[in-house]
Amino acid sequence: MSPTAAPAPPLAPEIADPRLYLDGIPHERFAQIRAMPGLGWHAYGDNGFWAVTRHADVREVSRNPAVFSSSIGHTNLWDLEADALEARRSLIDTDAPDHTRLRRMVAGAFTPKNIRRWTDTVREITVELLDEFEARGGGDWVELVAAPLPIRVILAMLGVPVADADYLVELSNYLVEGTGDTQSIPPDAFGNTTELRLLPFNSPASHALFEYGEDIRAKRRAEPRDDLVTHLVRAEADGGRISRHEYRHLFHLLVFAGNETTRTAISHGAMALAANRDQWQRVLDDRALVESATEEVIRWATPILHMRRTAASDCELAGTPIAAGDKVVMWYASANRDEAAFADPFRFDAGRADGEHFAFGGGGPHLCLGAFLARLEVSVLLEEMAARRLVLEQLGEPVRAASNFVHGVLSVDMAPAAGSSGGPR
Amino acid sequence: MSADSVRMAVDSQRCIGGGQCEMLEPEVFLVDDDEAVSSVIGSGVLPRARADVVVHRCPGAAVSIVGPES
Ligand code: HEM
Ligand code: SF4
């Protein structure tokens, strides 16, 4: 930790313990940190991190990648040994120029214009899942709707058989466990022989996902198609614009990042709509609100709670001196409830028009690649729920992930409300 | 345009090709899908307030205002 000579910085309350998140985000603690002058210092492991919790400060960190680096340290708050960091490095843990090169490898597929082309696919999948949900009279929303929707969409984009969706959802679930304290599978699961600390999320499921990516790569090399994997395979063949390591990690990232996050948004979104029926009624009465409701669902959910940067040089943020090498952790979970950016931030408002939320990151070069895809999925879901006038009723408490990184919901029972489409009359 | 219009530019080294600019101002920005890089098209001119929005939203800090309209 840096400030040895300087007076001790104000200490932030505990926010890193994954168990705190079993009952939801510890919002009061974040509010305390937002109210502190400057940044709060948080002890963690054998050094600690600066807790960046205000909306404006998160933006500042995101938009200054030359100072707040993604490649020097890990982008999660826990530390990695140097060899593990290298072995696990993906797009997310790079800075320009590597970042720009890798990002452009896939960016074209995710522009608003090109994402819009997937609208019909997203709609077909959504209708099928909602039909099934209604036919069963409800059930676990995560299993029936929130998990399968994004995975089927990203698999369609990658060009991966839909029959493998369940397997990839299962792998993602194990990866999420790796962000918490528990792993329910043994180190040699899926035939893994790699040391766990060298695998993303310390999880043998990462090995399985890499293998899966290699398998598809081999198939597309032999028989090219019009899909994202073929595109990446071409880039690899084409003078090594992307290395084998980069391909493996990009594939892993596309599957995991595109799936766990959107699932979380859809799960929290359903809970918010069930708990705030007046807000859902507004959308039913005026479909023009789908766009703002989509953003509000994503702000409300904030599926990724934090991302970390590491100071590349001595600098200052919010009046707090930061030393080169210090960890700087942006808490999106807090920025998205910042009173300075949102009027009445703890209110779910389907027509909200005030702030720019940071669920996709604070607006720097790592801004979520899949943001427009996730928006499309959430908005088509809301449209289709509205079209059939489906009103949700939440049955019981959700089972949450014990994680300080993802705002995960493992399961939550929902049913069509009485009188609503698919519900008891 | 008006007295308050400005000329836009894109730094292709910094651009990450996500297309926020094109979504906001399709008359002025075009992203090449293969290269995933944006460039200025047409008159390249925007009213000041709209120009500021694009600069604010560009995640690569690649969009800039290079001067007044003419
Ligand atoms: C609601 C859903 C989603 C949320 C909340 C979300 C959130 C995030 C966040 C917070 C980041 C880091 C931003 C930063 O460091 O500035 C990120 C990066 C990323 N996301 Fe998403 N994401 C979502 C959906 C998706 C989808 C559907 C994909 C599909 C491929 C995706 C792919 C990625 C990738 C590849 C990155 C790394 C980008 C980079 O480092 O340049 N995400 N996402
Ligand atoms: S918004 Fe910025 S980074 Fe994105 S495509 Fe346009 S110029 Fe490039």
What are chain A's domains?
Answer: 71-307+357-416 (1.10.630.10)
- Is the four-CA dihedral A173, A175, A180, A181 of positive or negative sign? positive
CB contact under 8 A, B36 and A103: yes
Say which DSSP state A10 is in.
Answer: P
For A342-372, what is each residue's pLDDT tens digit?
999 999 999 999 889 999 999 999 999 999 9
Q: Length of chain B, please?
A: 70
ipTM of the complex: 0.90
CA A114 to centroid of chain Cα atoms: 21
Using the Cβ of A104 and the Cβ atoms of chain B, whether some distance falls under 8 Å is answered with: yes
Instruction: Place A7 in a pLDDT band, splitting at 50, 70 and 90.
Output: low
Which DSSP helix (H) or strand (E) runs through A320? strand A320-322
Give me the CATH number covering residue B51: 3.30.70.20
Q: What is the mean pLDDT of residues A112-131?
A: 96
- Put simply, whether B25 touches A (Cβ < 8 Å) is no
Give the pLDDT mean for A30-36.
97
Length of chain A: 425
Quick check: A2 pLDDT over 60? no
Percent of chain A having pLDDT more than 90?
A: 73
Cis ω for the linkage preceding B47 (within 30 of 0): no
Residue A212: pLDDT band (50, 70, 90) is very high
Please tell me the distance from the alpha carbon of residue A384 to that of residue A382, in angstroms, as a whole number. 5
Beta-carbon separation of B23 and A108 below 8 A: no
Span A95-105, average pLDDT: 93
Distance of CA A338 to the CA centre of its chain: 19
State the pLDDT at residue A231: 86
Flag whether pLDDT at A418 surpasses 80: yes
Higher pLDDT, B1 or A210: A210
Cβ A331 vs Cβ A306: under 8 Å: yes
pLDDT band at A5 (very low <50, low <70, confident <90, very high): low
| pLDDT range class, residue A78, cuts 50, 70, 90 | confident
Nearest atom within ligand 2 for CA of residue B10:
7
* C-alpha distance from A365 to closest chain B C-alpha (Å): 5
Distance A368 CA to ligand 1 centre (A): 3
Position A147 pLDDT exceeds 70: yes
Atom of ligand 1 nearest to the CA of A94: 40
What's this model's pTM, rounded to 2 decimal places?
0.94
* pLDDT at residue A6, as a whole number: 59
Percentage with pLDDT > 70 across chain A: 97
> Average per-residue pLDDT in chain A?
92
Per DSSP, A76 falls in state: S
* A302-325 average pLDDT score: 97
Q: What's the domain range around B29?
A: 5-68
- Predicted confidence (pLDDT) per residue in A267-298, tens digit: 999 999 999 999 999 999 999 999 999 999 99
Hey, what are B54's tokens? Answer: 């694009």
Which member of B14, B56, B59 has the closest CB to residue A367? B59
| pLDDT for res B2 | 61
For residue A258, what pLDDT is reported? 81
pLDDT for res A8: 75
Spans of chain B below 70 pLDDT: 1-3
Q: Quick one: DSSP state of residue A144?
A: I
The reply to whether residue B61 touches residue A63, judged by beta carbons under 8 angstroms, is yes
Split at pLDDT 50, 70, 90, the class of A181 is low
Q: Which residue has the higher pLDDT, A24 or A180?
A: A24
Q: Per the structure, how many domains does chain B have? A: 1
Token pair recorded at residue A166: 């369940």
Spell out where A124-264 has E strands.
139-140
Directed axis angle between helix A165-177 and helix A244-257, to 10°?
90
Partners of B13 on chain A (C-beta within 8 Å) are: 97, 100
Give CA angle at A25 (A24, A27), nearest 5°: 125
Q: State how far the alpha carbon of A382 is from the alpha carbons of A123, A184, A261, A266, A292, in Å.
A: 11, 34, 17, 10, 11
In the block, residue with structure tokens 């001067």: B67
- Going from the C-alpha of A349 to that of each of A264, A288, A290, the distances in angstroms are 19, 14, 12
A113:B60 CB<8 A: no
Segment A398-421 mean pLDDT: 91
The predicted model gives A307-334 an average pLDDT of 97
- The pLDDT of residue A302 is 98
Q: What angle do CA B62, B66, B67 make, to 5 degrees?
A: 155
Ligand 1, atom nearest to A157 Cα:
30
Cα A238–A75–A70 angle (5° rounding)?
60
The C-alpha atoms of residue A260 and residue A146 are separated, in whole angstroms, by: 9
A282/A349 Cα distance (integer angstroms): 10
